[in-house]
């Protein structure tokens, strides 16, 4: 009987490159050029991954297209004590406000615990970023709100939009940093900053080399969901945020959001396998202009 693996997510550790983590504590490094090949057995179902380290009480089945892999109740429990839900106002840890750039015209503001370093930016697939300030959680939140209100900077950018521009980014780090530098200058010039938030100078960090993007065939599509009996096998070209860019035959590359892997029982694909038999949708491209 084939060995079964259950993925618990892609991680960006403080040192080394990205890794896939599996139930039981196993890790798989993801160096460029590695062959990634797995399948979902016939008759497989995707189970809820539970919440905050606890198994789902009702062992719910969840949809293949869900990136959270949680039933409604487990999703509520998991979010109940998160910074994103504003339920940790008394968190004593220092937080940092950042500006993250994903492509032309796509800059967002966000916050992360200082102890996490740049991990949050790598997890989101930020092509480059700069810190904006450091302070208590609520001061960081107020600064985030200030930028949204005064400069109309979003705090979320959909992954579909990030993927759509990844194959056509500006060639140089200086070009990629330009929008972050401009927004940083406008942000620090605003009045109304919380007194407890310490501004930080603009020092743009570029992740193109960390991700491995910019080389190899462009992606033509993205895996829409995993399905029983389907599989994927190809050479790993790049890893950006939770996404694996895989060369699958002569057509080009597909993008696999590893969050779609959680909740499934997976098996290794055969050594002769090459390609993708999971449903793939065409990668949406951003229009060059109004028409």
pLDDT at site 290: 34
The answer to whether residues 6 and 23 touch, using CB atoms and an 8 Å cutoff, is yes
Q: What is the spatial distance between Cα 109 and Cα 196, in angstroms, rounded to a whole number? A: 18
138 phi and psi, to 5 degrees? -70, -30
**What is the tens place of the pLDDT at every residue in 57-102?**
999 999 999 999 999 999 999 887 666 555 566 678 999 999 999 9
The answer to whether residues 30 and 240 touch, using CB atoms and an 8 Å cutoff, is no
**What is the tens place of the pLDDT at every residue in 226-285?**
999 999 999 999 999 999 999 987 778 999 999 999 999 999 987 656 789 999 999 876
With a pLDDT cut of 90, the percent of the chain lying above it is: 78
This prediction has a pTM of: 0.91
What is the rounded average pLDDT of the residues 193-221? 92
pLDDT at site 272: 59
pLDDT category of residue 291 using cuts at 50, 70 and 90: very low
């Amino acid at each position: 009987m084939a060995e079964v693996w259950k993925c618990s997510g892609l991680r960006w550790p403080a040192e080394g490159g990205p890794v896939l983590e599996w139930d039981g504590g196993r890790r798989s490094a993801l160096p460029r050029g590695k062959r990634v090949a797995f399948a979902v057995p016939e008759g497989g179902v995707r189970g809820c991954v539970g919440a905050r380290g606890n198994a789902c009480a009702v062992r719910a089945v969840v949809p293949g297209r869900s990136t959270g892999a949680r039933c409604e109740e487990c999703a509520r429990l998991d979010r109940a004590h998160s910074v994103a839900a504003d339920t940790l106002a008394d968190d004593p840890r220092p937080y940092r406000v950042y500006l993250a750039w994903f492509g032309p015209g796509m800059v967002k503001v966000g916050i992360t615990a200082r102890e996490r370093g740049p991990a949050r930016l790598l997890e989101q697939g930020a092509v480059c970023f700069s810190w904006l300030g450091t302070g208590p959680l609520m001061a960081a939140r107020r600064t985030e709100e200030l930028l949204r209100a005064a400069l109309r900077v979003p705090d979320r950018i959909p992954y579909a939009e990030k993927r759509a521009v990844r194959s056509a980014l500006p060639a140089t780090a200086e070009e990629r940093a330009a929008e972050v530098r401009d927004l940083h200058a406008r942000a620090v010039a605003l009045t109304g900053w919380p007194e407890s938030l310490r501004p930080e100078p603009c020092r743009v960090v570029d992740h193109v080399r960390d991700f491995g993007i910019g080389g190899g065939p462009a992606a033509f599509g993205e895996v829409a969901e995993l399905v029983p009996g389907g599989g994927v096998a190809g050479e790993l070209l790049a890893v950006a945020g939770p996404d694996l860019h895989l060369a699958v035959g002569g057509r080009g590359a597909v993008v696999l959001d590893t969050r779609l892997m959680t909740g499934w029982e997976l098996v290794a694909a055969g050594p002769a396998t090459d390609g993708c038999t999971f449903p793939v949708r065409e990668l949406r491209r951003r229009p060059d202009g109004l028409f």
